[in-house]
Structure 1
Amino acid sequence: MPLTSLSTADGTLLISWAFPAPAQAVWAGFTDAALLSQWLGRPTECDVRPRGMVSVDHGGGYLSRSVITDMDRPRKLAMSWEFPEEPESRIVIQLRGTDTGTVMNFAHHDLGTLVDSYGPGWITHLTYMEAAVAGTAIPASQFWSLHATFEKMYAAHLTADTATP
């Protein structure tokens, strides 16, 4: 897992991830319905253009809705994020090609007190996305066990960050 940095500040989750794939392939992971279905959920609408709507069925009656607010293919994708029973938030994804692949900076803004509950989820989803982009999808049946592992790691990270020397 090439998670290179993780931080939370002021209700924003910041994740930096190094993908061993070109930016166009990583971009497709966020914009191609077939790839979205391998890592985020079943797209019910996938209109990836400015003011377009992306809706994803995560199962169990949970449907996220996003409106594309800014886009610069294949470098930047910004969108709203609406999830049931939560305030609307914003996501900004920036991609930068490197000699070895692509660095993604992922920011989920306006999470408030939900920021730490989103950390393990996005890490799990991005692990699935990396596999999907590489053409080696992880079976959906492994999602919750992998998520539980990341929750433990994330909790340890939080504890280490708040420990006083």
Structure 2
Amino acid sequence: MPLIDSSIRTIDSSVSHTWHIAAPTSRLWWALTDPVALPQWLGKLAAGTFVAGDVVRIQHAPDYFCTSRITEYEPEHWLRMTWKFPDEPPSEVTIRLTPEVSGTLIELTHEGLGDDARNYLPGWHTHLLYLEALLLGRPRSMTDFWSTFEELSKFETDFY
């Protein structure tokens, strides 16, 4: 797990993760936007496409969807989108990809989380573990997602 940095910023209620994944940016972009890859690390793409202006709906559990508008993107470089679950205030996710000799640096920032920031830090950490496993050819079972989240929550909420 090449986690480089993770943090909560209380000033703007944001979380961020910087991570190195031993995969080229083209493969990482595929995993971020492809309907076949998404359910293996984030959720099932129920509607939309990852192009600027489009709205995507991602199913995270039965009858529980996140709705996002793609506000900016440049394939293989960055993706910015709104983020809205029915029971949460709207927020914004930015993902930047930087090619490196041995893979890709991914910088994920999620802003405007309010009191939810403490839950999102281990949540995104868990999703990135699953993303990395997918890209390294060792996909993790989504049935273990919440137990992994709970373990990370114990550590990360004590740390911050």
The two structures have a TM-score, normalised by structure 1, of 0.92
State how 1:1-165 maps to structure 2 within 5 Å. Answer: 1-9=1-9, 10-158=12-160
Q: Which has the higher helix share?
A: 1
Alignment correspondent of 1:162: none
| Total equivalences in the alignment | 158
Residue aligned with 1:149, SS: helix
Q: CA deviation at 1:133?
A: 1.9
Partner SS, residue 140 of structure 2: coil
Distance 1:119 1:130 in 2: 17
What is the SS of the residue equivalent to 2:37?
helix
State the Cα distance separating 1:61 from its structure 2 match. 2.4
Structure 1 runs (4+) deviating above 2 angstroms are none
Letter in 1 for 2:72: D
In 2, distance between residues paired with 1:18 and 1:156? Answer: 24
Structure 1 residue matching 2:61: 3-state secondary structure:
coil
| Displacement after TM superposition at 1:132 (Å) | 1.4
CA distance in 2, matches of 1:157, 1:27: 31
Amino acid in the other structure paired with 2:157: A
Percent identity over the alignment is 33
Aligned-partner residue type, residue 19 of structure 1: I
Partner SS state of residue 132, structure 1: helix
Q: CA deviation at 1:26?
A: 0.9
The answer on whether the counterparts of 1:93 and 1:104 sit within 8 Å (CA) in structure 2 is yes
SS of the residue 2:16 aligns to = strand
Gaps of 5+ in 2: none
